Chain A
Amino acid sequence: MFITKKNQKKIIIFAIVLLFLITTDFFRNFNNLIKFNYDQRIVNAYGFCSRESIGYLNYIKAKYKFNYNIRIINYIHAPNTSWSITNPREINKYSNELILLNYPGRKIKIKLNQNKINEYTINNFYFYLDKIKQNNYLEINSVKITGLSNPKIEIIIKDSVGNIIKNIQITNFKIFENRIVHLTNINFEELKNSFNLYLRLSGMNIKNNAQIFFITENKYNVSNYKIIDNYDTCYYLKK
């Protein structure tokens, strides 16, 4: 009874506006903009030395004030990170320096995901092409032979259109304590059009929780370079 007609209108307007602001998280966003500066928000969005590591790239760019482009290798499958330090005036010129992000060490262990029954895949395999060496092998855990037919491992590599560019059949592998470790030594220098890698198993079963890895030697070894800057698994190197 104390609410006049004029106040009623104001209350309704206020309610509509408030509802909209709550729905869009206006107050939290407002608070975040006050609490975190732009650089901190960039780290929140991309990670400092994790995920795309844009925080680390911005940090070394500010610290070393380089005006040239540097080749960046990110071992986590994430979009291109070079955009954050690109100098458009020198767009095609690269220094002899190198930035490694999320460096996994001397060996790269790539997990294969189950695609179908007895088929496993590394989607977007092309991502690894510039990071791996010919010295590579397969590791399959929790294997049990069915005994129904000859056990076989088939590795199929397809290009971006879906054409098979390499088909490798392996029958001479050994199983030791329900585990297969087989040297594959695929030369990816010759398979530059590789896009997806598939692995098919026949004549054997593996447990549901079994894991299959494609293990390969890292093309980059930090001990072969001069380390200019390092934070955790991110390196700024010079040849």
Chain B
Amino acid sequence: MIEIFFIFLSFPIFLLTMLVPLQINLGNLRDIKNILDKLIYNLILNLNFLFLLSVLPIKINQYCLLLAILYLLLFFYKYFIVNFNIGRIINLFLFFLIPGLVFISFAMIIANKLNLGWDAKYFYYIKSLFFFDGLSLETLNNFEHNKWHPHLGSFYWGFFWYLSPLKIEYYGRLFYLFIYCISLYYLTQKIFNKNIIANILFIIISLSLFNYERFSGLQEILIFSLLIIASYFLASSSTNKKFYVLFIILISNVILWIKSEGIVYILIILLCLMSKESINKRLKFITLISFASIILFKYLIYHTYDFIYNAQPYNMDYLRSLNIKVVSDKIKYIVPYLGYYSLKNYIFSLGVIILFYKNIFNKNKEYVLSFSIFTVLNILFIFLAYIIREMEILYSIKTTMERVVFTSSGFYLFLILSMINEKTKIKKNRIYIKLFNRFYRSIFSPKKNY
């Protein structure tokens, strides 16, 4: 029973990462879009703050509890002392009621199944164990499989595992689930502006995409979720452009430290940003410098701790040995499997189809170009990754391609939802939709002013 209690408690604990340090004005939920932005800004800031802590030579057990208490005090100070209002607290509860419910239901599945994924057993779990056991980043050098992937996903796992009073590993993995739920909730709410459809779609999409394997300690779900948020920032044409660019950079920093292929995704994101006409040259220059800095910082950290930067099965000797026959043989395998896994992942296939449609009928929309660049480079990356990989092609494809397709599919969710939004707007004037919306708002919309 105590495990269940702590599962319920884990959601408000994770929620702290969205409520501080930036204050959220929960009194006026009509300004939902800005509230959502601030919540996500807090989350991204905290993810980056945790990243900074992870690279410092200090141990989790020296600051984990202290940090949690500090955040709790900050939360009470900001929401109970400075601006105390019981209505705001009720608003907060109502606002997170649906994502909370979804989180807890999925958390129950994770707590029951417990199975760790293959890669998690080899790499990510052991690394999180290092952090959980009070060892710092530099000691990871002793672990022979450290070289394959960066440490950040494992650090989050270890951090929240240590924070849980029962010290059971899956509490750390629940943080991955939290990011998944929140990113989907953010996107649906932003696109549908706290409409009834937003909540229904949030539930449907989170249900349809939920698969225990994704939360078995593998890291793809983190990149998938972060790409969902990044795609919205990238596509948005609002006045928050500077903030969005800043937070895309911060998201990219997190992605870079989660998986080795993170560098490819962030370079594609950078190219997407560079292609946007609405971003002025000065901002583009700053973005370029920022991306270069975060990549250089990774090199610096790897150099400092004497980590191997690239241990993946790619090398120049193999690249030179490739000939047309080998490449065409590999392509023969890649094409059908990529087709198969793309069709299996409805977000990816539907996203690419919608993009194709938008390229013909909505060419003037700025984000269409960004998404097209992302798609072309992403598919190119998938091909190249398997062609230049020194490994038996079929084994390599069968064990990894499904996850590679899934990881990038997060980026396309925006296209699908915005398409649904456009189509429903046309029908919005119909009387029964209006009535249904009014009815729904009367139930779920919290009191507006206190």
> B-contacting residues of A (Cβ < 8 Å)?
9, 13, 17, 20-21, 23-26, 29-30, 32-34, 38, 41-42, 45-46, 79-81, 83, 86, 88-89, 91-92, 158, 160-162, 195-196
Contacts and interface: CB of A to CB of B under 8 A. Distances in A.
A158 B439 CA distance: 66
B84 to A, nearest CB: 29
A89 B135 contact: yes
A38 B122 contact: no
B308 interface: no
B237 interface: no
- Most chain B C-beta atoms within 10 Å of own C-beta, residue among A17, A26, A46, A91: A91
Contact of B395 (A24, A25, A29, A160): A160
Interface stretch (B41-49, B61-69, B74-82, B103-111): B103-111
Contacts of A158: 392
Contact of A25 (B109, B130, B139, B203): B109
Contacts of A86: 126, 129
A38 B105 contact: no
Given A32-B112, A91-B143, A20 B1 contact: no
B125 interface: yes
B142 interface: yes
Contact of B105 (A26, A80, A162): A26
A20 B203 CA distance: 8
Interface stretch (B21-29, B113-121, B338-346): B113-121
A23 to B, nearest CB: 6
Contacts, number: 89
A34 B113 CA distance: 14
Contact of B114 (A21, A30, A42, A196): A42
B133 interface: yes
B86 interface: no
A33 B3 contact: yes
Contact of B168 (A23, A38, A91): A38
B70 to A, nearest CB: 27
Given A33-B108, A45-B115, A88 B135 contact: yes
Given A86-B129, A88-B130, A30 B4 contact: yes
B406 to A, nearest CB: 20
Size class of the B contact interface (CB-based, 8 Å): 35 or more
Interface of B: 1, 3-4, 7, 101-102, 105-106, 108-109, 111-116, 118, 121-122, 125-126, 129-130, 133, 135, 139, 142-144, 168, 203, 207, 210, 390-393, 395, 439, 442-443
Contact of A33 (B101, B111, B125): B111
Given A33-B108, A92-B144, 4 more contacts: A33-B3, A38-B3, A83-B116, A86-B126
Main secondary structure on chain B at its contact with chain A?
Answer: helix
A45 B110 CA distance: 11
B207 A24 contact: yes
Given A13-B443, A29-B111, A160-B395, A24 B3 contact: no
Given A88-B129, A88-B139, A83 B121 contact: yes
A32 B203 CA distance: 24
26 contacts: A9-B443, A13-B443, A20-B105, A24-B106, A24-B109, A24-B207, A25-B108, A26-B108, A29-B109, A30-B108, A33-B7, A33-B112, A34-B1, A41-B111, A41-B112, A45-B113, A83-B116, A86-B126, A86-B129, A88-B143, A89-B135, A91-B142, A158-B392, A160-B391, A161-B392, A195-B392
Given A26-B105, A92-B142, A9 B168 contact: no
Contacts of A41: 111-112, 114
A162 B393 contact: yes
B108 A20 contact: no
Contacts of A162: 392-393
Contacts of B1: 34
A20 B112 contact: no
A83 B125 contact: yes
A216 B1 CA distance: 49
Contacts of A91: 126, 142-143
B129 A20 contact: no
Contact of A20 (B121, B144, B207, B442): B207
B121 A80 contact: yes
Contacts of A25: 108-109
A119 to B, nearest CB: 15
